[in-house]
Amino acid sequence: MFWFGLIGCFAPEAGEWGFFDIAESGDCAVESAGSLEGLLTIEPSPSAFVLHREEDSFSCQLNGKAFLCDPISRAVESEEVSLEGLLDAEGEFDSKTSGVLSITSSWSCVSGACDTYGLGSCTRKEEGTIRLSAE
């Protein structure tokens, strides 16, 4: 990706990234909300990149080294309940190979035995460090 340097735009390195030192907050204990721990994949393009995490793919826009990603909708269904979620991601790169990432998951129980299981709406935020994995 030599041309990124020619036009002066910042872009993270392409490849597999690790997610470390995760701090969780919020009132959500929904197991199906997923976890950020593990590997992420970043595919850069001019002023943007795609961040892949498990089955989710976030389209992210860069503003300098800061980034904001388009929200992703998710649905989780079981025999007892149906949940709908919205995931938002944002962060900032320290360099082409490291930065911080925050994903906020907002979940609502939309059908089934929501009252029986004490499910309503909840939010969970996961924040941590991202680094390009060593080759």
Tens-digit pLDDT profile for residues 2-33: 434 444 578 899 999 999 888 889 988 655 44
Cα gap 3→124, rounded to integer Å: 38
**pTM for the whole structure:** 0.82
Per-chain mean pLDDT for the chain: 85
Cross-strand pairs, 48:
45, 61
How high is the pLDDT of residue 4? Answer: 41
The model's pLDDT over 75-127, given as tens digits with 9 standing for 90+, comes to 989 899 999 999 999 999 999 999 999 999 999 999 888 888 888 899 999 99
> In terms of pLDDT, which residue wins out, 1 or 107?
107
